[in-house]
Structure 1
Amino acid sequence: MPSRPEALTITLAYSGDARTQAAAALYRHNIEQTGIDDRAAIGAELCDASGKILGGIWGRTELGLLFLDMFFLPKQLRGRSHGSRLLMAIEEEAVGRGCKRAVVETSSFQAPQFYMHHGFEEFGKVEFGIPGHARIFLRKDLP
C-alpha cells in the first residue's frame, strides 16, 4: 500500500531561527561532500581614535575562497584610501587562511569600479527592474 503524503504547508515568512538551522544543516552537508570544515568569519574595521567603528569590510572564508558580504564606509571617508587599506587587510588575512580567490557581488550604483581598480573582474550581471542598473558579480585571484 502506498504511503500517504504528509500534510505540509508553506508559509511566507522569514524566521531567523529556521534560517540559522537550515544554514547549519546545509553547511554540514557541504562538509560531508568535501571533507573540509574551514568556514570562518572574516572582517576588517576602520575605527577612530576612541575605538568607534566607522566602517569596514566583512565576509567569510571557506573552501579556499574569500566571500565578501558587506563593505561600507561613510561618504565623508571615501576616496581617501581607507577602502583600499581595508580590502588589502582582509585579502592578506584570507591568503594566510589559504584562500586562492575572492568573490563579491555589488550593485552597479555601489562600487564595481572600486573592485575592478583592485584587480577584480566581472563574471556575471543580472539586470534589476530599474533601467540601467544591475547586480554585478566579480572575482579575483589572490596571490
Structure 2
Amino acid sequence: MIDKSEIVRGTGEDANVVRNKLIAFNAAHVPNGRYEEINLHIKNEAGEIIAGLNSAVCWNWMEVDILWVADTHRGQGLGKRLLEEAERIARANDCAFVKLNTFSFQAPRFYQKHGYQVMFMIDEAPAGQQHYYLKKDLE
C-alpha cells in the first residue's frame, strides 16, 4: 500500500486519469463545459506522419498544444494547411478564438503571419530564448 502522503511519478495513464478528473470538475462548475481533442496529421506516400497538430476544443476556444512539421517538409505549406483546418474546425464548433504557445526558436513569426497576436512573452524561458503565448480571434 502506498503512503497517502507519498508523491510518485505517474504514467501516461495516470496523467489521463488526472486530466479527466479535472475535466469532470470543470464541467460541474462551468455551464456548457466541453473538452474534445482534435488531432490532425498529414502522411506521406509511405504512410509516415510528416506533419501534425494536436489540439483541444475547450468551452468556447480551441487550444493548440503542438504543431509539428518534419524538417524535410518545411516550407511546403503543411503547417499552414494544418492551422487553417484547425481554425475551420474551431469555427464549426463555435469557438471564439484559438490560443497556443511557442518558443522564439520555433515559430512565433509563422503564427503572427497567420493572424495570431502575442498576448504575452516570458523572457529567458528557456535560457537565451523567449516563450510566446498567442491568440487569434475567430470572429
Please indicate, yes or no, whether the TM-score normalized by the shorter chain is above 0.5: yes
Q: CA deviation at 1:61?
A: 0.6
Structure 1 range deviating more: 121-130 or 85-94: 121-130
After TM superposition, the score normalised by the length of structure 1 is: 0.85
- Residue-pair matches, total: 136
Match of 1:66 among 62, 69, 72: 62
Contact 2:100 / 2:135 at 8 angstroms: preserved in 1?
yes
Unmatched runs of 5 consecutive residues or more in structure 1: 1-6
Match of 1:109 in 2: 105
After TM superposition, the score normalised by the length of structure 2 is: 0.87
Q: CA deviation at 1:43?
A: 2.3
Unmatched runs of 5 consecutive residues or more in structure 2: none
CA RMSD after TM alignment: 1.8
Deviation digits for residues 6-28 of structure 1 (CA, Å, limit 9, x no counterpart): x8524252333432222111111
CA distance in 1, matches of 2:126, 2:105: 14
Match of 1:90 in 2: 86
Match of 2:50 in 1: 54
Q: Which has the larger radius of gyration?
A: 1
Match of 1:79 in 2: 75
Match of 1:130 in 2: 127
Q: Secondary structure at the match of 1:84?
A: helix
Deviation digits for residues 37-87 of structure 1 (CA, Å, limit 9, x no counterpart): 421111221122343321111111111111001111111211121211111
Deviation digits for residues 83-123 of structure 1 (CA, Å, limit 9, x no counterpart): 11111111101111111100001111101110000000111
